[in-house]
Structure 1
């Protein structure tokens, strides 16, 4: 078989695979009640299936395209649960967004590294864009959010080129249009978090070292007593964003440490404050309309 025929056969295979996947998603949605949360598998690696849990706004209109927000849980790339951001997902669905809780591979369950976690996060966003039509997603209004290591995944999807699964259709962007980051791991350099763990390729996976022009608008929340993420690290991140002409809002909170934003801590005070500011941020980007309902 000539090289030309081989390339043509490969193109047909990819085209058919993509078409079949899109059809599979459409078939699954035909039997789903969008008034309730539901799951779709976005990626299968060997015997591991990774799911996205969707929530749609009340009064879903099949003729509309909705802004979408995908959440990545924290846990040091070692563990964690999608339930961490369930309250935020419920709130932003009530505000008119499609919200998505993303599962991804972690060390404790899958014996993987942060590099596989980033690849999964990028696959999740690419899945949303690839199937935007059948999912009623506006592909130009996909926000990525997360806390700690999950914030790192969101930031990597906004800034780090590469680290994609090579067999995916890379013509479909895995870059988020906006970032909402809760005490994120934003710097994996010598002065940042888990530098040794990232190895020689640390620059590839460090969001702070990949900020370029057209970096997505970002909002960051951090407690001033965070023992893992120093204030100086996120301030440097903000300054780099400003240098390239991108927006980066930073909110610092006195007397609280890592994970302060979780709904079950501090009587929900900081959950309310951070979600309120996230709402205003997304409204300013025209992802949302009206006033926060907290």
Structure 2
């Protein structure tokens, strides 16, 4: 969704205006993969055989086997978008959370012949397994966090709640992510754009299937700390997608934080945007 690109472009623009940048990537040659004292960057690392199965890796200087990784998952209604859309948030992490590694991944896009589930969840699993298999090479731990926007937030929550079998996820962030496909606000919606996106999961899916692909129905008391951001005027993500998950996390005693920007839509700017990064940064520092 184009609004997501605007959302994170404004984040980067704001950071640049504030002048908080001393990131160095000039010394990121291939030999630095084994020199843990230096920053290392590698782009388009294949984790599968298809063109979309690529991710970018950013490793901090002075990393150790305890270094944790944030995985960024872009939005785009499960059918579009790119890891490049998340580059601004990668820059923020590199600038202000300098001891954290970052993975910015692409995943296979859904279309009429390829449903988003389980295909995109399987791609996340492949990336996580790749990181585990190469943790010694890259000098990182198995501990990870997720930051996702919109459809990418849905995937981040779902994987963290239902597919993290080894309990490696320390925190997960949803920015305007769908959480419950059985929400009456979705089942009874009259928005053709929204309905086209929901139809990706099937024209007449069963309730059981919708629950299977809904983080709201998959979350348990062992879920990782979760931070949620939503807009009160979002035309694609009803407010209940955020508030219902918030309430369920509360009932399960799962550590969480929830922010609703009453007048914001599918993304926001200005002071609300700065508030989002301030809260997210603090959450990462505490929980990852």
TM-score range, shorter-chain basis? 0.7 to 0.9
C-alpha separation in 1, matches of 2:169 and 2:185: 23
Alignment of 1:1-294 (within 5 A): 30=31, 32=33, 35=39, 37-39=41-43, 41-45=45-49, 47-48=50-51, 50-57=53-60, 60-94=61-95, 95-96=97-98, 97-107=100-110, 111-115=113-117, 116-140=119-143, 142-161=144-163, 173=166, 176-191=169-184, 193=186, 196-198=199-201, 199-200=205-206, 201-260=209-268, 266=269, 269-285=271-287, 287=288
C-alpha separation in 2, matches of 1:42 and 1:65: 24
Provide TM-score, normalisation by structure 2.
0.74
SS in 1 for 2:242: helix
SS in 2 for 1:214: coil
| Aligned twin of 1:14 | none
C-alpha separation in 2, matches of 1:220 and 1:282: 13
C-alpha distance 63-241 of structure 1, shift in aligned 2 (>3 A): closer
- Structure 1 runs not aligned, ≥5 long: 1-27, 163-171, 261-265, 288-294
- Structure 2 runs not aligned, ≥5 long: 1-28, 187-196
8 Å contact 2:145–2:170 — kept in the other structure? yes
Runs of 4+ in 1 over 6 A off after TM superposition: none
C-alpha separation in 2, matches of 1:40 and 1:79: 18
Q: Deviations over 1:33-79 (max 9, x none)?
A: 8635312535224x44511111222xx12545312111100001010
Q: Deviations over 1:196-221 (max 9, x none)?
A: 54233222211111111211100001
8 Å contact 2:156–2:174 — kept in the other structure? yes
C-alpha separation in 2, matches of 1:217 and 1:258: 23
8 Å contact 1:214–1:245 — kept in the other structure? no
Aligned residues: CA RMSD: 2.6
C-alpha separation in 1, matches of 2:81 and 2:277: 21
C-alpha separation in 2, matches of 1:54 and 1:270: 29
Q: Which moved more, 1:241-250 or 1:212-221?
A: 241-250
Which is bigger in relative contact order (C-alpha 8 A, separation at least 6)?
Answer: 2
SS in 2 for 1:139: coil
Aligned pair count?
Answer: 239
Q: Which moved more, 1:120-129 or 1:178-187?
A: 120-129
8 Å contact 1:157–1:175 — kept in the other structure? no
Q: Which has the larger radius of gyration?
A: 1
8 Å contact 2:52–2:106 — kept in the other structure? no
